Structure 1
Amino acid sequence: MIEHIVLIKFKNQLSDEQLNGLIERTMALKDFIPGIIDIQQGRDFSNRSKGYEIGLTVRFENQIALENYDSHPKHIEIKQHLQELGVEDIIVVDFKF
């Protein structure tokens, strides 16, 4: 299995509506992209995040599923939406277990 971890930081303060809308759109990826076993996303509530406001984990069946996810049109839509929202930085870590 593959664990895909993403941390997202925005340039400006986003509204609750914007952040919650992003989460809803991202969570729906499981309905469109094969190979996703589990997807979780949420807003940081601690003061340890160094400005990263959103955390995402996606568990995939295998590395091929991760590769297919990366190029899937629905995932590309999410990446474009992040640009529209004013993403400043994204950290991604992928590992097998």
Structure 2
Amino acid sequence: MIEHIVLIKHSSTTTEDQKQELIRRTLALKEVIPGIVDIQQGVNFSSRSQGYEIGLTVRFKDRDSLEYYGSHPAHQEIVSYLKGIGVEDRIVVDFEI
């Protein structure tokens, strides 16, 4: 299995409603993209976040599923939405479990 972790730092103009919409859209990907075993996303509450406000974890069956996810049109729509609402930085980590 593959664990995909993303941390997102939004711009100062991103609203709370936009963040919640991002989460809603992202969680819906499990019903659309084959190979997703589990998906979780939420707003960070820790003071140790160094400004990263949203965390995402996606568990995939295998590396091929991760690759398919990356280019899938539904995922690309999320990426476009994220860019549109303002992203200052993001960190991505992928590893096998």
Give the letter for the 2:14 counterpart. Answer: L
Pairwise CA distance, 1:17: 1.2
Number of equivalent positions = 97
- Is the 2:13–2:86 contact (alpha carbons within 8 Å) kept by the matching residues of 1? no
Task: List gaps (5 residues or longer) in structure 1.
Answer: none
Give the letter for the 2:92 counterpart. Answer: V
Matched, 1:53 2:31: no
CA RMSD, 1 decimal = 0.8
Q: Which residue of 1 aligns with 2:2?
A: 2
Q: Which residue of 2 aligns with 1:80?
A: 80
- Aligned equivalents of 1:69 and 1:78: distance in 2? 11
Runs of 4+ deviating beyond 4 Å: none
- Aligned equivalents of 1:13 and 1:6: distance in 2? 20
Pairwise CA distance, 1:76: 0.4
**Length-normalised TM-score, structure 1:** 0.97
Q: Which residue of 2 aligns with 1:18?
A: 18
